[in-house]
């Protein structure tokens, strides 16, 4: 009896410690974004929304926020589209060296973002492509395409083959087959790939930092704010970024669960 209680206490303590370890930094960040004072460090002086007001009044920050959204959405759409097409081809057709091709598609996952960014930077220089949000977007497609490909490819089971055959038998060409049958059937994994890719692009710093010039994304703007010292305003914008990521994950969770329950 006593042993059981102590085991329970131990496991609950462990659970609380794990979650504290994961979420304490975020909790501190969010808490001091409400700091009534100039420094985001203890003691907590009182509750104030002044820093959120400052964030929304900062036009550079708001522009960076908009840039981040555009880059995240556009690069994710492209990553999902390319990933889907690659997965479809490799899952449904006998291609030369398909194991090697799959490996090559997934390989960028193992390369650090810094290396990818440096590679793209020298490539863009060599091609005389000016750095812009587009080059940042290209960098994000490079890192998110392998992820999208892997998620969608894994969900293309053999149980869909006869359904696709039936669609072809009834007269669907490749494009109609993919648009009307294959993609809708794989929608849960396509959405998962899309939203994961959005959150990765939204949070990404190194590639965005090295491949952008005048227009920057939010993480880059926050970094330049941090260079001038700690400020509850950075906590406020950090909390907003965190909130956006949570929102995307919630959408992903709900849209996925909504669909899998129906099927």
Scanning 22-30, 84-92, 146-154, 160-168 for contacts with other proteins by CB under 8 A, the matching segment is: 160-168
Q: Does 262 bind other proteins (CB under 8 A)?
A: yes
Give least dist CB 174 to other proteins, A: 11
Instruction: Give the residue with the Cβ less far from other proteins, 96 or 171.
Output: 171
Q: Does 167 bind other proteins (CB under 8 A)?
A: yes
Q: Which residues lie closer than 8 Å to 129 by C-beta, 6 or more apart?
A: 135
What single DSSP character describes residue 182? I
Instruction: Give the residue with the Cβ less far from other proteins, 46 or 158.
Output: 158
Scanning 30-38, 143-151, 167-175, 203-211 for contacts with other proteins by CB under 8 A, the matching segment is: 167-175
Instruction: Note the Cα 261 to chain centre separation in Å.
Output: 25
List the interface residues with other proteins, window 179-198 (CB under 8 A).
180-181, 184-185, 187
Instruction: Give the residue with the Cβ less far from other proteins, 60 or 165.
Output: 165
Instruction: Give the residue with the Cβ less far from other proteins, 91 or 136.
Output: 91
DSSP result, 23-81: HHHHHHHHHHHTBSSS-SSSS---B--HHHHHHHH-HHHHHHHHHHHHHHHHHHHHHHH
Give least dist CB 84 to other proteins, A: 16
Give the C-alpha separation, 31 to 245, whole Å. 18
Scanning 175-183, 191-199, 229-237, 241-249 for contacts with other proteins by CB under 8 A, the matching segment is: 175-183
Q: Does 166 bind other proteins (CB under 8 A)?
A: yes
Distance from first CA to last CA of the chain, Å, rounded?
Answer: 45
Give the C-alpha separation, 56 to 61, whole Å. 8
Q: Does 162 bind other proteins (CB under 8 A)?
A: yes
Out of 81, 121, 129, 172, the only residue in the binding site for other proteins (CB under 8 A) is 172
Instruction: Give the residue with the Cβ less far from other proteins, 21 or 158.
Output: 158
Tokens of 30: 């969010």
Give least dist CB 153 to other proteins, A: 19
Tokens of 216: 């920057």
Give the C-alpha separation, 71 to 133, whole Å. 7
Give the C-alpha separation, 114 to 209, whole Å. 10
Q: Does 176 bind other proteins (CB under 8 A)?
A: yes
Of 114, 75, 91, 95, the C-alpha closest to 193 is: 75
Tokens of 117: 């960014």
Give the C-alpha separation, 139 to 122, whole Å. 12
Instruction: Give the residue with the Cβ less far from other proteins, 186 or 220.
Output: 186
Instruction: Give the residue with the Cβ less far from other proteins, 143 or 190.
Output: 190
Residues that bind other proteins (CB under 8 A): 159, 162-163, 165-173, 176, 180-181, 184-185, 187, 262-263
């Amino acid at each position: 009896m006593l042993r059981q209680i102590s085991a329970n206490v131990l496991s609950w303590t462990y659970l609380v410690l794990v979650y504290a370890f994961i979420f304490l930094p975020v909790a501190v960040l969010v808490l001091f974004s409400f700091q009534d004072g100039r420094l985001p460090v203890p003691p907590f002086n009182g509750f104030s929304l002044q820093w959120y007001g400052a964030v929304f009044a900062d036009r550079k920050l708001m522009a960076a926020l908009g840039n981040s959204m555009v880059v995240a959405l556009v690069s994710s759409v492209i990553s999902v589209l390319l990933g889907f097409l690659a997965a479809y081809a490799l899952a449904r057709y006998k291609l030369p060296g398909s194991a090697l091709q799959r490996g090559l598609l997934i390989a960028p996952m193992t390369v650090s973002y810094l290396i990818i960014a440096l590679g793209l930077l020298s490539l863009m220089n060599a091609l005389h492509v000016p750095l812009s949000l587009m080059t940042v977007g290209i960098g994000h497609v490079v890192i998110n395409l392998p992820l999208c490909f892997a998620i969608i490819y894994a969900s293309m089971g053999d149980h869909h083959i006869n359904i696709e055959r039936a669609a072809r038998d009834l007269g669907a060409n490749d494009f109609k087959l993919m648009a009307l049958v294959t993609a809708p059937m794989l929608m849960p994994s396509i959405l998962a790939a899309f939203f994961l890719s959005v959150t990765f692009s939204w949070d990404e710093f190194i590639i965005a930092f090295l491949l952008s010039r005048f227009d920057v994304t939010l993480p880059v703007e926050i970094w330049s704010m941090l260079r001038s010292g700690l400020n509850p305003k950075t906590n406020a914008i950090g909390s907003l970024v965190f909130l956006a990521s949570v929102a995307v994950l919630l959408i992903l969770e709900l849209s996925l669960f909504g669909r899998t329950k129906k099927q």
